[in-house]
Amino acid sequence: MQVPLFQLQCGVNSYDWGKIGKESAAAQYAAATESTNFSIENEKPYAELWMGTHPSLPSRDVGTQRSLLDLVQDNKALMSQGISRKYGEKLPFLFKVLSIRKALSIQAHPNKKLAEQLHAKDPKNYPDDNHKPEMTIAITPFDGLCGFRPLKEISHFLTTVPSLRKLVGEEAAKEFQEGVSSHGTSSNAEDIQRNKKSLQTAFSALMTKDKSTIAATAKELVASAKKDGEQFAGGGGPSNGGKELADLVVRLNSQFEGDVGLFVLFFLNYVRLEIGEAMFLKADDIHAYLSGDIIECMASSDNVVRAGFTPKFQDIPTLTSMLTYSYAPISEQKMNPVDYPYVTLNRAAYSSSSSAILYDPPIEEFSVVKTELNGKEAKATFEAIEGPSIIICTAGSGKVSVGPKSEQVKAGHVFFIGATAECILESDSESFTSFKAFCELSGKETANGAS
């Protein structure tokens, strides 16, 4: 019987927003697998390394060159019968490394029902019928726009950024601010719905302005950002200082001159993640990643509804109608990882403060464990689980073992581990870091709300 451990050959996408040449972690990891004929071109942007069964860029077994999709469909025990049955004989998650040089589009990912509708109506722009909640873990310092700010912050910017108020319109801005003053912090369900409706009205008013008006008004915004410094936007809000926001406006305008996204940033939380910090985005949550290298895990989909910071197809009516309009400080979207309970560290690992921490979103399709083994011979033994895993090494070197089979591992190597297999990671370097995405049927909600 075949040991359920095999190395994967994973493809890398070249999008304009990716980091250039060897600066891209995604490119470096793709080039690390010896059997590929991939070589890094110094002037080319490399954006995403994909690990999984998604047909747009499927992973392959290095040894046989069969696609991972073929392997898990041919042998359902690799994922477990239950997961194969529930998720249509495809890996429930898509695992990625993103290397971000400049802003990705302002976007959201549709829920399952909307994804089915969009795919049926427009399969060119919406290539599959799946939802796409996603989790982001920083492997270098990262910044992005994620979720709507607290309403008082948005109200503050409507007062202190005249060009923003001009685009939203006096009537919509005044109505929004009156609502915030009356019931903006209420926890009453009816008031929350009124707040969301008011936020939708103000945001939609901005997003539906014609591009020439936005571009002309953006010149006023950028001039103010360059001139006002610390005093820009009334000195900023509680979350971001005036100079920080001014620098952000100037930086993003250099990438997408005159874009509506320059104004959207006053509606959205501006977040920085340090290495190891993470956040979770539900389906229908608005966001835009701006810079950094990240590990990303999501339900297996490539559906994106875009509306700014992009030359690609934009679907503003769908975006403004689909969003949840939930509003909260970014602290509520950041995750709180915990020690992973189903791993045993050997003495060398304990004595060197090695760790295995779990990023566990409130859905069933995926979770991720980050393992850091400090020092040679540090070892982590993971208990068998009733589901598949994919492991990528991001730093250092060591080996991965399942049963009698061991494989050497270095940064960029990716391995698939089948269901019910105990897995052992062992370091042969001073620091061996890996991320393991996995799925098991847990009784948590799936991304489309079913349990």
HSE-CB of 244 using CA atoms within 13 angstroms:
14
Q: Which two tokens stand for residue 81?
A: 């019968």
Q: Which of 60, 85, 306, 347 is catalytic?
A: 306
- Asked if 157 contacts 179 with a C-beta cutoff of 8 angstroms, the reply is no
Measured at the CA of 105, the angle between CA 265 and CA 129, to 5 degrees, comes to: 125
Task: Note the helical H segments in 161-241.
Answer: 162-168, 170-183, 189-207, 211-228, 232-235
Confirm whether 306 is a catalytic residue: yes
Coil, helix or strand at residue 45: strand
Measured at the CA of 359, the angle between CA 370 and CA 267, to 5 degrees, comes to: 120
Contacts of 254 (CB under 8 A, 6+ apart): none
Sign of CA dihedral 222, 226, 229, 231: negative
Amino acid at 127: P
User: Helix 189-207 and helix 170-183: axis angle, to 10°?
Assistant: 160
Can you tell me the distance from the alpha carbon of 133 to that of 285, in angstroms, rounded to the nearest whole number?
Answer: 9
* Active site residue ranges: 306
